[in-house]
Amino acid sequence: MGEGSLDGLAMFVGRSHSFAVRAAEYPGLNPNSIYFTDHWLLTSPRSPVDSAYGGHDIGIFDYKNKTIYPCYYPIDVQSFKRIMPALLWFTPIPSPHPCFSN
């Protein structure tokens, strides 16, 4: 693996678990990128739930260019609010997969 590269992997990091896949096997994924979600949800025991901090961070870090891009699909970024419960990543099935062939 060269410097500035994740060897074509798309990595997923979050509260539930983390994993990596070869981006070339999944159309729409960005190679050499880290997809991340907010893993913190901080509240005071006496604070109402609406005052909790966290659940805002979701994005894609381009490892090669060292830049972060928003990942708010399908929500309009202007109306983005805290996500409850915390986001989870689901592991995709590569295409084509024998279970889905004709």
For 6-30, how does the pLDDT look when each residue is reduced to its tens digit (9 = 90+)? Answer: 999 999 988 777 899 999 988 889 9
Closest CA to 92 of 38, 7, 24, 6: 24
Domain count, the chain: 1
Q: Is residue 61 one of the residues assigned to a domain?
A: yes
Domain that holds residue 17: 9-88
Q: From CA 32, how far away is CA 64, in angstroms rounded?
A: 7
User: Is residue 77 in a domain?
Assistant: yes
- Whether 93 maps to a domain, the answer reads no
**H runs (alpha helix) in 54-96:** none
Assigned domain for 81 exists: yes
| pLDDT for the residue 5 | 85
Q: 69 in a domain, yes or no?
A: yes
Contacts 24+ apart (CB under 8 A), 68-72: 71/35
Residue 30: what pLDDT? 93
Asked if residue 101 belongs to a domain, the reply is no
pLDDT tens readout for residues 50-95: 545 455 677 899 999 999 987 765 556 555 555 555 666 766 666 6
Q: Is-above-0.75 flag for pTM?
A: no
70, part of any domain: yes
- Give the whole-angstrom CA distance, residue 7 versus residue 56: 29
| 64 lies in some domain | yes
Confidence of residue 1 (pLDDT cuts 50, 70, 90): low
